[in-house]
Amino acid sequence: MRSGTVFTQGLRQAVGESPAWTVEAVRQVRYHVVSSVGLFTPDNPALLTGCPDAPLRPGDRRLIIVDQNVDALHGDAMRAYFAAHGVDVTVVPLHAEETVKQWDAVEAVVDAMNSFGIDRRREPVLAVGGGVLTDVVGFAASLYRRGTPYIRIPTTLIGLVDAGVGVKTGVNYQLGKNRLGTYAPATATFLDRSLLSTLPLRHIGNGLAEILKMALIRSNDLFRLLESHGAAVRADRMQGSTGELARAADAIIAESIHLMLEELQPNLWESALERCVDYGHTFSPTLEMHALPELLHGEAVVIDMALTTALGTLRGDLTEAEADRVYAVIRSLGLPLWTDVLERPGLLEDALRDTVRHRDGQQRLPLPVGIGRHRFVNDVTPAELRAAAGLLRGRALGAAAPAAPALVAGQVGV
C-alpha cells in the first residue's frame, strides 16, 4: 500500500495490489418554486425579488428564450415589464412543439447563448413557454459550459404542475420520447396561472389530467375539489373570474404541486423505481405513440388511469361506485375514457413488457386503492388487462354509444 495518500472527506485509497481510489461527494440541490398571479404586471416584484438565489436588478441583462406562440400573445407585456424595471433583455422566440422537440432546437438555444455572450455566473437564461420549451432550454442550459443556470416561467398547465417543477430536461431522439436528457433543476420556477388565459381548453384539460393523477393516488381532498370545481375552473381556464373560482384554481394547483414535490424531493434522481407519480404512465406511452396525433399526453394518461381504475375494481381495491365517480370526473374535465387503440391485439401486453424493461425487471405498477391511495403490484396478467379493457369499454361507451368511435370523450378539443 502506498503511503502519503490524501485523505479528504469521501476520498480514500483502497487496499490492494495496485492503488485505487473511490471518490464520494454529495451535491446539494436547492431550487425554488414561486407562484404569483400577473408576473408581467409592472408593479409585481415577484420576478425581481421573489427568488433569493436569482435577484434581478436595474442594469442587469437577461437572455429570454420564449415559445413563439407565447411571444405573440404575451411578448409585449413581458418586454414592457423588463423595460419598466431597467432590465436589458434579448428575446429569442423559438418554435416549440412536440414534433420539433429535437436536437436542432437545442442547437438553436446554444447559438442564442453564444451570441448573447452569457456570463454563466450571473446571468441565468429565462425559459418562457410550455413543457416543450422549458425542457429544451433546460437541456441546452444544463449542457452549456457543463451547466448554466436557468429560470422557468411555464405557460401551460402541464408546465405549471408538472414539467416546470421537477428536475428533468430533455428532447426526443428519433422515436424515443425524451431519449436525450439531463437532471438539471432550474434555479427558480415562477408560476403564473394568468398566463393560461390564452391556452386552448384542450391543453387545460391536458394539465388537469396530471392533476387528477395526483388526486387518485395521493389525495381524496384534491379529488373532491376536482369533483366540485374541476369543470368550472377548466371552463374558466384557471383565471379565477370569481372569488370562488380563484380559490378553487389556487387550491387545485397548489395542492397538486405540493403532492408532486413531496414525491419528487426524496427521489430526485429516480433511483427508487416504485414511483407513484408513474401512475397513468404505464400504458400511456404506448397508447400515445400508437394513437398519434389523436391523443395529447394527458389524454393518453387519463385513459391509462381509466383502465387501471377498471383493473382496481376487478381486484376489489375500488368499489364500482368509486370507479363511477372517477369516470364522472374524467368526463367533466372534457377528457377521454376510451380509445379503440386499447383493443389492438398485443398492445397492452407490449406496453406491460416495455414497463418491466424500464423498471428493472418488475412491473412495479402503481394501482389505485379507493380514491386517494395506491399500492404497487407485480402480478398483472395480460388476461386481467383484457378483462379490465372490456369492463372499461362497457362503462365508457355505455348503451347509447356511437358505432366504434375512435375516441370517446366528454368534449375533447375546443
Ligand X SMILES: NC(=O)c1ccc[n+]([C@@H]2O[C@H](COP(=O)([O-])OP(=O)(O)OC[C@H]3O[C@@H](n4cnc5c(N)ncnc54)[C@H](O)[C@@H]3O)[C@@H](O)[C@H]2O)c1
Nearer to ligand X, 67 or 123 (CB): 67
- The DSSP result for 283-349, as a single string, is SHHHHHHHHTTS--HHHHHHHHHHHHHHHHHHTTSS-HHHHHHHHHHHHHTT-EEEEGGGGSTTHHH
Residue 92 vs residues 47, 70, 227: alpha-carbon distances, Å: 19, 12, 41
Q: Which of 101, 168, 177, 213 is catalytic?
A: 168
Read off the C-alpha cell for 278. 408513474
The residue range among 64-72, 305-313, 321-329, 344-352 that interacts with ligand X, by the rule CB under 6 A, is: 64-72
Q: Residue 299 interacts with ligand X (CB under 6 A)?
A: no
Q: Residue 67 interacts with ligand X (CB under 6 A)?
A: yes
Between CA 141 and CA 151, with CA 147 as vertex, the angle to 5 degrees is 50
Read off the C-alpha cell for 390. 372490456
The residue range among 52-60, 92-100, 103-111, 276-284 that interacts with ligand X, by the rule CB under 6 A, is: 92-100
320-332 vs 382-397: helix crossing angle, rounded to 10: 60
- What length is written for the chain? 414
Q: Residue 171 interacts with ligand X (CB under 6 A)?
A: no
Least Å distance between CB 164 and ligand X? 8
Q: Residue 189 interacts with ligand X (CB under 6 A)?
A: no
Least Å distance between CB 344 and ligand X? 23
Q: Residue 235 interacts with ligand X (CB under 6 A)?
A: no
Nearer to ligand X, 203 or 395 (CB): 203
The full 3-state SS of 167-217, as one line of letters, equals CEEEEEECCEEEEEEEECCCCEEEECHHHHHHCCHHHHHHHHHHHHHHHHH
Q: Respond yes or no: is residue 101 known to be catalytic.
A: no
The residue range among 153-161, 216-224, 345-353, 369-377 that interacts with ligand X, by the rule CB under 6 A, is: 153-161
Nearer to ligand X, 73 or 314 (CB): 73
Residue type, 233: V
Q: Residue 162 interacts with ligand X (CB under 6 A)?
A: yes
* β-strands 61-67, 88-94 pairing: parallel
Q: Residue 100 interacts with ligand X (CB under 6 A)?
A: no
Catalytic residues: 168
Binding site for ligand X (CB under 6 A): 67, 69-70, 73, 96-98, 101, 129-133, 135, 155-156, 158-159, 162-163, 166, 168, 178, 195-196, 198-199, 203, 206, 297
